[in-house]
Structure 1
Amino acid sequence: MSVDVFDRVIKNAIDVMENSKYQIYEICESVRAEREALNKELQIVFEETARTIDTVDRFEVEYRRSRVRLTEVSRDFKRFNEEDIRMAYEAATQLQAQLAIHREKELHLKLRRDDLQKRLKNLDKQLERAEALVSQFGVVLEYLTGDLNQVTRLLESAKNRQLLGLKIILAQEEERKRIAREIHDGLAQNLANMVLRTEITQRMLAKQAYNAVKNELDDLKVSVRSGIEEVRKIIFNLRPMALDDLGLVPTLRKFVQDYEEKSKIRTKFELIGKEVRLPSGMEVAVYRLVQEAFSNVHKHAAASFVSLELTFQQQMIKLTITDNGVGFITDNIEKKITDGSHYGLMGMRERVELLEGRLDIHSTVGVGTKISMVIPIKSDSKED
């Protein structure tokens, strides 16, 4: 293929990606507009629900009074005549009808409120996926439109190659930190909705509607716990803070334990040698490699056991992940990695190569798979 043809292919690819990125951006804006409209509608529903609850409480009090009045006029024939009894009966009947109507309205509003909250949650997920796609398109376009000659010159130097790999990994983690902060800040809207529901509960409590208060508090407690748990999981997946606070080994040990609980696959973690704190970017890279390897076992291996062996030596670290799954033909998987059709292993190999390491895969069908990764520790990159 000539240089001109290659340039033309690259330009066409850039044009297509630019158009796709713009279309996804329009989808993001549309979802944001719909989310804002739904959020406004939800606030209106909350306010109307509170007013309806007050109205129901008022009608309940008036209906009870009318029943007492009807009983009173029905028993005392000396003081009250048939006209008084008729009027008392009609008043009680009318209040009963009004009470039933407003109770039905209250139920409808609560159902509408729950439906809007579910739709808002789905829109948030769609917006998150669309924004992730826009970000990925931006990264690819930056690579395609960048100075490839300069990148090639940097990669010719072994020291600069590892430095570039660490910078890329650190940039990725900084982006993950930013997204984590945004998700955390985005809780404000959900908390505002919870505050409104709390206010509604307080009003019901003041009216001594204890059964309704209990139901509302139960729903609110479940929503709060679910929201907190979901946010904690998202934030931890984006950036495991334990890496900064505790280091690589405790974080991997905790990851392996959590993996066993969630996947029901028996796990084992073994540390060989004395742990040494690595540069932040390298610790993150090692954690992501283990995360990807264990994810592949869960998705594809059908294994009942997986082990992680982490070895610290003076000039390198070694990772060995072994499972007893279905295995595969190594030659076939190597072709898939080479042609880019196996994204998990391809991504692992790229991360290892950026750190000037080596990745080896040994697998036997029906026996299991063993992945070994050796990553050098540069003397000038060690932290003090």
Structure 2
Amino acid sequence: MQVDALDHVIKNAIDVMVSSKYQIFEICESVRTERASLITELESVINDAKTTIEKVDHYELEYRRARVRLTEVSRDFKRFTEHDIQVAYEFATQMQTQLAMCREKEIYLKARRDDLQKRIKNVDKQLERAESVVSQVNVVLEYLSGDLNQVTRLLESAKNRQLLGLKIILAQEEERKRIAREIHDGLAQTMANVVLRTEIAERMLSKQAYNSVKDELVDLKGQVRGGIEEVRKIIFNLRPMALDDLGLIPALRKFVQDYEEKTRISTKFEVIGKEGRLPSGMEVAIYRLVQEAFSNVLKHAQASHVTLEVTFQQQMVKIVISDNGVGFVVDNIDKKIEKGSHYGLMGMRERVELLEGRMEFQSTLGAGTKVSLLIPIKLKSKEE
């Protein structure tokens, strides 16, 4: 019955995630293809419109000159013959016809440009739909996180409980990497295309008397570039590359440095014992635990200094996060965790329990807080 219940939980989660994955893939691919086609066509229309406007200006000038010439030869019958009048009249008529044709073409190109811009806006709405599907995936991940307690209880008597916990964490991190890739390939590329469009508009408007519109576009370009930088930050936070490439300690060292620069809270990082690589899932779990602990310090502790200490032992990794903040009553926090009202600490406890570890608090009002995480590296089976 335990295996059946676990299979049911995991199967439901996998079904929803697979369905969402294909929806995201189809929507994003369709949007990317259509958007690229529309942008290419829009650029072509804009270039044609530019050429046509130049022709309209040219024919307007020639037509005005032709009319002046026609008026001149029509008034002076002594100087000009009837043939001269006829030539002037035909030339004026020709310029008028050319001007009318160019104006019609200009009107058509402007209408086509407006239609393409509207279609691009509709494509943007499809992007919003894609983001909605991403939200569905997030709901599934929350569903998995909410069921971790049930998974832990079902596997409490199993020898490989830690292994399953690591697999669940790895699955979550793989989903994070997938979302990061999609944001990079989708939203970031879209915003880059918007910057390209604004640059094209700038070049066109620079020849016209639309200074205010040009300034607005310059401001829009700056905002979009800022958005691209923000997307890159989101991608980094979803999955720090240093964690995969260099390991836990270098990733934590960079995190602590970035944390100090961002929050202006003084930090200290110490490593005790022989540093070594851990299983990938365990490194990810420890990194997220430290991340959440530092986030709690920023939100609640009102601290000016925080210390991270990582101790490597033969069969244990000990992580201690200490701050000099306002502190709290430990019993009150334990009650809040049990009631599920403190989501950050509750998530930390769930991750630690999945790794067969322990989480301990030491805190006094006005005297700071110390959070200790004890994570076993090797687990012996009951038969041993």
Shared fold per TM-score greater than 0.5: yes
* TM-superposed deviation, 1:84: 5.3
Distance in 1 (CA, whole Å) between partners of 2:247 and 2:29 is: 41
The match for 1:132 among 135, 138, 154 is 138
The match for 1:173 among 170, 174, 179 is 170
Larger mean Cα displacement after TM superposition, 311-320 or 221-230: 221-230
Q: Secondary structure at the match of 1:152?
A: coil
Aligned to 1:184: 181
Distance in 2 (CA, whole Å) between partners of 1:85 and 1:97 is: 18
* TM-superposed deviation, 1:171: 3.8
* TM-superposed deviation, 1:301: 0.9
* TM-superposed deviation, 1:355: 3.5
Q: Deviations over 1:133-190 (max 9, x none)?
A: 2355467779869993xx2322xxxxx4xx5224422442244235524652675566
* TM-superposed deviation, 1:95: 3.7
Aligned to 1:3: none
Closer/same/farther in 2, CA of residues 336 and 121 from structure 1, 3 Å limit: same
Kindly report which structure 2 residues correspond to 1:310-321, keeping only aligned pairs within 5 A, or say none. 310-315=309-314, 316-321=316-321
Closer/same/farther in 2, CA of residues 284 and 26 from structure 1, 3 Å limit: closer
Q: Deviations over 1:106-135 (max 9, x none)?
A: 35634652x345434433332112023235
Distance in 2 (CA, whole Å) between partners of 1:272 and 1:250 is: 11
Closer/same/farther in 2, CA of residues 355 and 233 from structure 1, 3 Å limit: same
Aligned residues with identical type, % of pairs: 30
Code of the residue aligned with 2:361 in structure 1: it is I
Closer/same/farther in 2, CA of residues 121 and 367 from structure 1, 3 Å limit: farther
Q: Secondary structure at the match of 1:237?
A: helix
The match for 2:62 among 58, 63, 69 is 69
Larger mean Cα displacement after TM superposition, 58-67 or 83-92: 83-92
Distance in 1 (CA, whole Å) between partners of 2:353 and 2:369 is: 21
* TM-superposed deviation, 1:289: 1.0
Work out which of the two has the higher radius of gyration on C-alpha atoms and give 1 or 2: 2
* TM-superposed deviation, 1:251: 0.9
Tell whether 2:359 aligns with 1:359. yes
Aligned to 1:106: 113
Q: 2:38–2:116: 8 Å Cα contact kept in structure 1?
A: yes
* TM-superposed deviation, 1:104: 6.1
Closer/same/farther in 2, CA of residues 221 and 360 from structure 1, 3 Å limit: same
Code of the residue aligned with 1:241 in structure 2: it is M
Distance in 2 (CA, whole Å) between partners of 1:291 and 1:147 is: 26
Q: Deviations over 1:276-331 (max 9, x none)?
A: 21422332222121011122233x31625342321425344332223344543322
Closer/same/farther in 2, CA of residues 42 and 273 from structure 1, 3 Å limit: closer
Q: Deviations over 1:45-104 (max 9, x none)?
A: 435424422431342232133024224314433345567547645754664475366346
The match for 1:56 among 42, 45, 49 is 49
Q: 1:166–1:282: 8 Å Cα contact kept in structure 2?
A: no
Distance in 2 (CA, whole Å) between partners of 1:91 and 1:292 is: 71
Larger mean Cα displacement after TM superposition, 221-230 or 277-286: 221-230
Number of equivalent positions: 352
Closer/same/farther in 2, CA of residues 220 and 166 from structure 1, 3 Å limit: farther
Aligned to 1:371: 371
Distance in 2 (CA, whole Å) between partners of 1:23 and 1:241 is: 28
Q: 2:63–2:96: 8 Å Cα contact kept in structure 1?
A: yes
Closer/same/farther in 2, CA of residues 126 and 305 from structure 1, 3 Å limit: farther
Q: TM-score, normalised by structure 1?
A: 0.68
Kindly report which structure 2 residues correspond to 1:1-384, keeping only aligned pairs within 5 A, or say none. 42=35, 45-46=38-39, 48-76=41-69, 77-78=72-73, 79=84, 81=88, 85=92, 88=95, 92=99, 95-96=102-103, 98-99=105-106, 102-103=109-110, 105-106=112-113, 109-110=116-117, 113=120, 115-116=121-122, 118-137=124-143, 148=154, 151-154=155-158, 160=159, 163-177=160-174, 179-181=176-178, 183-184=180-181, 211=206, 227=228, 230=231, 233-234=234-235, 236-262=236-262, 264-280=263-279, 281-298=281-298, 300-301=299-300, 303-315=302-314, 316-365=316-365, 368-378=368-378
* TM-superposed deviation, 1:256: 1.4
Q: Deviations over 1:243-291 (max 9, x none)?
A: 34322221101011222344x2414122142442142233222212101
Distance in 1 (CA, whole Å) between partners of 2:367 and 2:100 is: 78
Code of the residue aligned with 2:109 in structure 1: it is H
Q: 1:265–1:304: 8 Å Cα contact kept in structure 2?
A: no
Q: TM-score, normalised by structure 2?
A: 0.68
Q: 1:306–1:323: 8 Å Cα contact kept in structure 2?
A: yes
Q: Deviations over 1:205-226 (max 9, x none)?
A: 9xx95959x9999988986885
Closer/same/farther in 2, CA of residues 305 and 152 from structure 1, 3 Å limit: same
Distance in 2 (CA, whole Å) between partners of 1:199 and 1:270 is: 43
Distance in 1 (CA, whole Å) between partners of 2:15 and 2:137 is: 12
Any stretches of 5+ residues in structure 2 without a counterpart?
74-83, 208-213
